[in-house]
Amino acid sequence: MRTIVVTGGGAGIGRAVAMLAAARGDRVAVLDIVESSAQQTAADALGAGADRALGIACDVSSEESVQAAFENIASGLGPLYGVFANAGMDAGGFVHELPWEVWRRVTDTNLTGVFLTCKYGLRQMLAGGQPGSIVCTSSPAASVGFAAGAAGAYSASKGGISALVRCMAVDYARYGIRVNAVVPGATETKLMWANVEPAARPAMRQRICEEVPLGRLASPEEPARAVVWLLSEESSYVTGSHLVCDGGILAKASISV
């Protein structure tokens, strides 16, 4: 049985990955800053076929919290095979107006959170002496600036994740540990609307659907299927890659002629 850890597993893409892993019979550790959400996903994962499941409260920006979570996983689920380092947040603002506290909160959660998750995941994988797979959530914002603007902190954090993925892929290939990134586009999650007022969301959804080449937002299950593939042996020769699941956003020029 494989043990899979999912951060940000209480909702959105993280929850979808936990449920798909459960359907494969994996043991699933669901980490989320909201304990009740983590525990609910874990309970649902058991119902979906998980061999075992744990729901653990974890603040990925805190080393103590991440370390304690992985110790809990080791004792409760056994040797670690896969990690989906996914927990993240977004807070907008133009750089010249962005409070340092907001910059730090975004980068601490998104970039430092991925670093800490990978740090303790890798320690367990190396101790176990078995091959494994890590997938980190990046974004189109790691490669291009969003047309709406005011995404400097988020974009910087995701660019850092993409660079970290490439470095870890090279560093840990010798141990049989693969490291890749998934690059979701516009996906119907709470994070998608974090900086959009509720009244403006219908118009924003329509505009996004007009601009995305596939003409719609993704469901959380769509990028989740890409993640589960990267976590599986089916992608055994894939490392250091970015699997783009964005409906064609990065393939599209920003001008219409």
Task: Identify whether the C-beta of residue 136 lies closer than 8 Å to the C-beta of residue 181.
Answer: yes
Looking at the chain, list the stretches that DSSP marks H as alpha helix, in order from N- to C-terminal side: 12-23, 35-48, 63-77, 100-107, 113-128, 152-172, 201-211, 221-231
Residue 164: CA atoms inside 13 Å, Cβ hemisphere, count? 23
Identify which of 231, 239, 241 has the alpha carbon closest to the alpha carbon of residue 4: 231
Dist. CA 178–CA 175, nearest whole Å = 9
99 vs 145, 149, 170, 182, CA distance in Å? 20, 16, 35, 29
Q: How many CB atoms lie within 10 A of CB 253?
A: 6
Please, what is the Cα angle at 86 between 26 and 213, to 5 degrees? 105
Identify which of 22, 91, 230 has the alpha carbon closest to the alpha carbon of residue 9: 22
Task: Identify whether the C-beta of residue 164 lies closer than 8 Å to the C-beta of residue 114.
Answer: yes
Active-site residues, by number, are 154
